[in-house]
Chain A
Amino acid sequence: MENKAEKGHIHPVTQFINRANAIFYEMGFTLVDGPELETEHYNFDALNVPKDHPARDMQDTFWVKQSENEKEKKLLRTQTSAVQIRYMEGKQPPFKMVCFGKVFRNEATDATHEMVFHQLEGLMIDKDVTMADLKSTLNTFFDKFFERNVDVRFRPSFFPFVEPGLEVDISCFKCNGGEAGCPICKGTGWVEIAGAGMVHPKVLSGVGVNPKEWQGFAFGLGVDRIIMLKYGIDDIRLLYSGDLRLVNQF
């Protein structure tokens, strides 16, 4: 029986971001925002994604129509990593920030793909921030977020703005160990949850931070996918269709 009709409901993406931010805030990370309409420089060049490089194909981009006299090409950000660049520019470390927001990909939509979705990213730069710090940061976050002890596992991956690059898996937050037929991990015991790595020296030097002196990690995760897994939402498009049949369940 539902009797909370008087109170409204908060969208699950907001709920996610709030929980995540509360955890990161306690860990010393500051929430930062940035524009959704970005320049090619911040979205690609400054993130070490060279022009005419196959790495740009990893993300299909929405471009904005522009008049002749506008010099720089504008696009809808394909990743929130652009916010990190804007944040670091003109400042000196240490940095500890998270950002979240909409990102855009020009790809066909279906139950698991939407042109608009949300990312959460984090960045930590200091004198001697290592991959061990990355692992413990993610471990602490996921333990608190899922309110249980989850294991973090790294695998090799590639993102132009980090080196080494990592794929991050966590032990299944539902069955915690590979229950056959678990709807979340499909019985593997692991859930792919984030991309991460050590910030590429070129990215640092590009924003005026000396990579010989400073180093650190960055990570990013797809908010929608985690929400869908956590609550069993079967169609990502429901999140952005203004439909109370979804929102009012939360």
Chain B
Amino acid sequence: MKVSYKWLNEYFDGKLPKVEKAAEILTMNSSEVDAVEKVGNDYLLDVKILPNMAHSCLCHRGIAQEFGALLDLKTKKYCRDFEDYKIGDVSKNLKVVIENPADCRRYIGRVIENVRIGSSPKWLEEKLETIGQRSINNLVDATNFVMNEIGQPMHVFDADKLVGDTIEIKRVKVCDQIKTLDGRFVDLDESVLTISNNNKSLAIAGIKGGVIAEIDENTKNIVLESANFNPTLIRKTSQRIKIQTDASKRYENDLTPELAGEAMDILTKLIVEIAGTKNTKVGEMVDMYPVPAEKVNLGISAKEVEKVLGLKISEKEIEKIFKCLNFNSKKDGDKIVVEVPAERLDLRIKEDLIEEILKVYGYDKLKDNTSLVPVTKGQINKSFYYANKIKELLSNEGFSEIYGYAFAEKGDVELANSVAPDKKFLRANLIDGFKNYLEFNTRYSELVAMPQIKIFEIGKVFGVSEEYNSLVIGVQTPVSTKGLKKDKDVLEAVITILERELGIKLEKINNAENIAEFNFDEIVAKLSEPKTYDIKLPMAEADMRFKKISIYPFSVRDVAVFTPEGTKQEDVWAIIEKEAGVLLVKDRLFDVFTKKFPDGSAKTSYAFRLVLQSYDHTLSEDEIIGVMTRIITALNSQTGWQVR
């Protein structure tokens, strides 16, 4: 909701705090202000109105009332004063027919004759411009003003373009088409409620006007509309025809039909003021309101407030808060009974009132319960326990845990609204995805310091009849790597370890040469109930920071050096790190041995594998040679050291 600070401030004769302070107060106690932007000599506030506040706060008055309550300021009824008008004789004898009160809860029409269409006064143009709306003409601007002032959408028809005197609010009977004010053609069927005259659709009720009775520069006589429509109907139609307007947004959030009468009154006043001539005649309101809104009273006691908030607020204070909120209330036994204002459709149970009290009283006054008694521990979740047990066993064997994507190209459960062809199904197994993850990771095996890629996952898969947790383990060696144990053997060895540690036989549900998948839930079913959470998984350091992944290629180089026996690996590494600098992204010691030389001396050889990569460019051969030369020179300069 776009809100003008100046406009709001007019409700308080300029007594609002400065804009930043005002925005903070609103954010902390009512609705979050997303942004404040200076527009001319005003400020635009972008206020995120929560769904429960949208009945009353998609307008300046609603937000002004929030400020009034929070700051204990008197809030004027409108941002400005309006002059009264007199009812006169109009030639058109307007009739309104509502086909079904469930679709249209109230419809007020009014004829005004002999108006002057033209530009709006400066104050009105400025207000609309601040909130990002273009001024169109005095009549349209007046309707937009009323909507943004008190939240009721309004519409104006050219009275002379109507045939006869009757306006009907009804569903489309024969499929029809309407050309909307913005020139679009919309097909209408019986699901659409229209404002119609002489069996022609003048407007899509609550959403968009049509061109048939559009006002233009020659308009003299008008029919004003102030109505209330079924929110679900407006929402469904708006979604189906893909037109969302400021009006439809307000209707679909549900407005009280009570508002329509007040809105018609101030719109009439404003039009007489800014578009009136000495010949202007205002007709009676033609108000069809079959089932008036019920008045709601809600009672609450100080005890009930305390029971929810854990905070004692006296009856007196609660009554004062209701006064700040401009709620009429009276005592009834230990209850304070509030007459809920018509527009506050969000206040229906006592918890709603408690929220209002909390807003005004202050969220910052909520306390901790320091008397929380020491508690017994929770219960052990068996499935979670064994997932961690398996993760512990596998990580001990050098396997890393990945989380694969939940969607797949094929499967048993298909999405009705998938976003891409390769994400049309829920994964039916983990093995298919794992082939890709293994392949993918082999490309980075040096970068991730895993010469042989060893990964696993425990996650949900979705079969025809059920979802279950699956466990998959995979091993893959990059083609270029030699001399390691066969993937298949590594996989079988780790499965044997799992079977030994868990004490059960594992049945594969899917397998490839280097991947095995198991039904994890079935494994858990065979295991005994754990007594405590006694598993320690490897954890990152608390202050660990993630190193961004470079998009540039990396290069791998080995360096091996003979050092006098007793030289520590840290000493070697310190020199390498210093010389390699930021380009060294990964390193590992891959070989170490001590050798006796014929002269009797013993030397220890350390072999490091270095991975070099830049964050901003592809390393050239010269750069790599440069780095390696610096490292080798530095190592060789140590007494008794010799790079092999």
Contacts and interface: CB of A to CB of B under 8 A. Distances in A.
Interface of A: 1-3, 5-15, 18-19, 21-22, 24-33, 35-37, 52-55, 58, 62-66, 76, 96-97, 102, 104, 106, 115-116, 128, 130-133, 135-137, 139-140, 147, 153-158, 160, 163-167, 198, 200-201, 215, 231-234, 238-250
Contact of A133 (B369, B391, B437): B369
Contacts of A249: 540, 544, 546-547
A25 B617 CA distance: 48
Contacts of A5: 398, 449-450, 588
A244 B454 CA distance: 10
Interface stretch (B97-105, B143-151, B380-388): B380-388
Nearest to B29: A156
Interface string B429-441: 0000100110011
Given A156-B50, A164-B308, 7 more contacts: A3-B589, A54-B252, A164-B354, A231-B545, A233-B546, A240-B404, A248-B449
Given A14-B537, A243-B440, A245-B549, A37 B376 contact: no
Interface of B: 27-32, 50-54, 232, 235-236, 252-253, 307-311, 349, 351-352, 354-355, 358-359, 363-364, 366-370, 372, 375-379, 381, 383-384, 388, 391, 394-407, 413-419, 423, 426, 433, 436-437, 440-441, 444, 447-450, 453-455, 457, 460, 462, 467, 533, 537-540, 542, 544-549, 569-570, 573, 577, 586-589
A215 B307 contact: yes
A157 B49 CA distance: 10
A115 B419 CA distance: 10
* A-B interface, 8 closest residue pairs, ranked by CB to CB distance from nearest: A130-B310, A132-B310, A242-B437, A28-B375, A164-B355, A30-B378, A158-B50, A132-B369
A131 B308 contact: yes
B369 A2 contact: no
Given A242-B441, A248-B448, A163 B537 contact: no
Contacts of A21: 384, 533
Given A36-B467, A231-B544, A9 B378 contact: no
B15 to A, nearest CB: 23
Contacts, number: 276
15 contacts: A1-B573, A1-B589, A8-B399, A9-B395, A64-B426, A115-B407, A131-B309, A158-B50, A158-B51, A165-B52, A198-B308, A231-B544, A234-B548, A241-B405, A244-B455
Contacts of A132: 309-311, 366-369
A241 B253 CA distance: 39
A137 B642 CA distance: 61
Contacts of A33: 381, 383-384
Contacts of B236: 52
Residue of B32, B311, B349, B379 most packed against chain A (CB within 10 A): B379
B321 to A, nearest CB: 14
Nearest to B350: A201
B309 A15 contact: no
A116 B427 CA distance: 13
